[in-house]
Amino acid sequence: MIDSQELSHRAEIVDALLSYTRGIDRLDKESVISAFHPGAILNNYGPEPMPIEDFVEYALPSLKQRYSATQHRVSNIRIEIKEDRALVESYVLAYHVKLSENSNQLHTFNGRYIDTFALRDAHWKISERFLRNDWSKVDDITEEMAGSSVWVKSRRDADDPIYDF
């Protein structure tokens, strides 16, 4: 049976995953970094493993330049806690909207985050991440949904309404 302390640990782990997804989609460096311990290593995000500090300096400007919107969703979160470490597998479905003069495309990625979390200084954060690709695809965007012209677009900066709370 899971006790209240383990439930609290699990909630903190899930919150870290969600801080990463919000941060990557809102291009919010602090939110992304808050999910990781300093020096945490990300694998499979480039030709070589890189620390989180280098990742955000590379990834956020690249995402801003290449895509007009992104949305990362995590699900099927499986957490296995052993003392001060946890193995966390979560499925990721990521959408990247690329608008250009020649074509508009939706890049879809489906895979998994395989994270090692560590409990340090009373906080559960990611100490190492592996990214695994299950499938991906590119679709042409030929038209917007009916009525979408009246919807307010999300922001990818501190002016997004989520930061008003």
Core vs surface per residue 130-139: b (16+ CB within 10 A) or e:
beeeeeeeee
Report, at the CATH architecture level, how domain 4-164 is classified. Answer: Roll (3.10)
The pLDDT score that the predictor gives to residue 146 is 63
Residue 158's pLDDT is what? 86
Per-residue pLDDT at 98? 92
Number of DSSP helices (H) and strands (E) in the chain, helices first? 3, 6
Helix/strand/coil for 124: strand
Tell me if residue 28 falls in helix, strand or coil: coil
List the beta bridge partners of residue 135. 110
Q: What is the value of pTM for the model shown?
A: 0.91
**Sequential pLDDT tens for the chain (165 residues):** 789 999 999 999 999 999 999 999 999 999 999 999 999 999 988 789 999 999 999 999 999 999 999 999 999 999 999 999 999 999 999 999 998 878 789 999 999 999 999 999 999 999 999 999 999 999 998 877 666 667 777 888 888 888 887
Structure tokens at 108: 């879809």
Decide if 22 contacts 32 (C-beta within 8 A).
no
Q: Could you give the CA distance from residue 75 to residue 110 in angstroms, rounded to a whole number?
A: 11
For residue 149, give the DSSP letter. Answer: G
